[in-house]
Copies of this chain bind each other. A is one copy, B any other.
Amino acid sequence: MPISANDTKRKSWVEVPENSDFPIQNIPFGVFLTKEYVVTVGTRIGDSAIDLGALQQLNYFEGIELTDDMFMQDTLNDFISDGKKTWRLVRNRIAEIFDKNNPKLRDNAKHRDIVIFKMDEVEMQLPVLIGDYTDFYSSKEHATNVGKMFRDPENALLPNWLHIPVGYHGRSSTIIPSGIPVHRPIGQTLPAGENTPVFGPSRLIDFELETAFITTDANVMGEMIPINEAEDYIFGMVLLNDWSARDIQKWEYVPLGPFLAKSFASSISPWIVTMDALEPFRVASPKQDPSPLPYLQQKGKHSFDIHLEVAIQPENEKPTVIGNSNFKYMYWTMSQQLTHHTSNGCRVNSGDMMGSGTISGPTPNSYGSMLELTWGGKNPIKLNDGTERKFINDNDTVIMKGFCQNGQVRLGFGEVSSKLLPPFVRK
């Protein structure tokens, strides 16, 4: 089944601004609330939000096997459950419907009124009900930087790191879409030189520049997804800001790992960009040495060239871009992560989310966290408004963007943007 939606010559009759992340070659999936308070599954072209529920009711998906209310839902989980063949049929069909040479919807003003909204008229929701959220730790540069700062600079990587895509379970209940502000968490920290912890607002709030992938139902309990099948179970990707409280983390994380330092919030971009859309940007991942164990060995190219950037926007100021990275730096691939995750028989469901871990590149300006960019606060970053940051201040907004570009097309994720508010006050 060809991915006709990827045809780089195709233009849409829907206007697409220059350098938009959402040309007709993207066709991401999300969930939005319209101004009439209807929740629907949708896609986006340019700055237009497209109601797929309405399109289905108007019979534009005729011939594709879908349940009647597939898109009139408040999550994508059921659609994702339908599997790769259906995703591709639907995405290809959407490309046809919005092709500038197709008059069917283009010339039907009544239908267009029902189907198409301006992006600023809709409110993006979480695209999936996330049953389980896992976060990996798969950037060698990030793991090395953290190891140098907190452990032994000569042996920065732990012994298991080059053999295992190390990961841990995260908290699903506090995953929120772009735009929702986050309160500075309160927690236990151990002041330097003391033996007794104190309880109060975290002083070291950090972002982590990550991507995440969303899975479909992958296996029954007990079953491992073989490495050569793993990509078939990945629906698409989002940007992820894995908010972190470094001082809480330092005190709590031994021996069971990060807990409250992470679980106060994780922000994601609202549009899931499909693996089909990302296919033209496939690149090789870094060479793995030593070679991983056979169940994790794969041939060919399994990473993607996705430019990533992060900016800090102080209250009433313009954003300053403070870091640029790229998904292609990841040492472990998404397929290796998914195969490893299921190697013990762990069941993976539709809508599960798996984070990459902080994506740091090889140079200091490509690091993916304030911890690394300021090297533990030693080298503050100057913003365009003249102020400095070691970590994130109250009322700062952290903005992450991600896009792919080649000679023919540019497409991307939009952004995940979230403001850090002062600690919550109970009313």
Q: Decide if A183 touches B137 in the complex (CB within 8 Å).
A: no
Q: Decide if A424 touches B197 in the complex (CB within 8 Å).
A: no
Q: How far is it, in angstroms, between the C-alpha of A294 and the C-alpha of B199 when the chains are bound?
A: 9
Residue in chain B with minimal CB distance to A172: B132
Task: Say yes or no for A405: interface residue by CB 8 A criterion.
Answer: no
Task: Say yes or no for A192: interface residue by CB 8 A criterion.
Answer: no
Q: How far is it, in angstroms, between the C-alpha of A86 and the C-alpha of B341 when the chains are bound?
A: 40
Task: Say yes or no for A216: interface residue by CB 8 A criterion.
Answer: no
Complex contacts, A223 vs chain B, CB 8 Å: 424, 426
Min Cβ gap A132→B in Å is 5
Min Cβ gap A354→B in Å is 12
Interchain CB contact (< 8 A) of A352 among B173, B221, B344: B173
Task: Say yes or no for A273: interface residue by CB 8 A criterion.
Answer: no
Q: Decide if B257 touches A255 in the complex (CB within 8 Å).
A: yes
Complex contacts, A170 vs chain B, CB 8 Å: 169
Residue in chain B with minimal CB distance to A254: B158
Complex contacts, A159 vs chain B, CB 8 Å: 190, 195
Q: How far is it, in angstroms, between the C-alpha of A340 and the C-alpha of B186 when the chains are bound?
A: 10
Complex contacts, A196 vs chain B, CB 8 Å: 163, 290
Of the candidates A158, A294, A345, the one having the most CB atoms from chain B within 10 angstroms of its own CB is A345
Bits for A213-242, please: 1 = Cβ < 8 Å to B, else 0: 000000001111000000000000000000
Task: Say yes or no for A203: interface residue by CB 8 A criterion.
Answer: no
Interface residue tally for chain A (C-beta within 8 Å): 66
Task: Say yes or no for A1: interface residue by CB 8 A criterion.
Answer: no
Interchain CB contact (< 8 A) of A256 among B131, B168, B340: B168
Partner-contacting stretch, out of A29-37, A111-119, A244-252, A406-414: A244-252
Residue in chain B with minimal CB distance to A197: B163
Q: How far is it, in angstroms, between the C-alpha of A258 and the C-alpha of B190 when the chains are bound?
A: 24
Q: How far is it, in angstroms, between the C-alpha of A248 and the C-alpha of B131 when the chains are bound?
A: 24
Task: Say yes or no for A275: interface residue by CB 8 A criterion.
Answer: no
Q: Decide if B131 touches A172 in the complex (CB within 8 Å).
A: yes
Q: Decide if A256 touches B166 in the complex (CB within 8 Å).
A: yes
Q: How far is it, in angstroms, between the C-alpha of A131 and the C-alpha of B261 when the chains are bound?
A: 20
Please list the residues of chain A having a beta carbon within 8 angstroms of any beta carbon in chain B: 131-132, 137, 158-160, 163-164, 166-174, 176, 183, 185-188, 190, 195-199, 221-224, 245, 248, 251-261, 263-265, 290, 293-295, 340-341, 343-349, 352, 423-424, 426
A-B contact pairs, 21 of them (CB 8 A): A132-B172, A137-B256, A160-B188, A160-B190, A163-B188, A163-B196, A164-B188, A166-B255, A168-B259, A173-B347, A174-B345, A183-B221, A187-B344, A198-B293, A199-B295, A248-B344, A255-B257, A257-B258, A260-B340, A261-B344, A265-B345
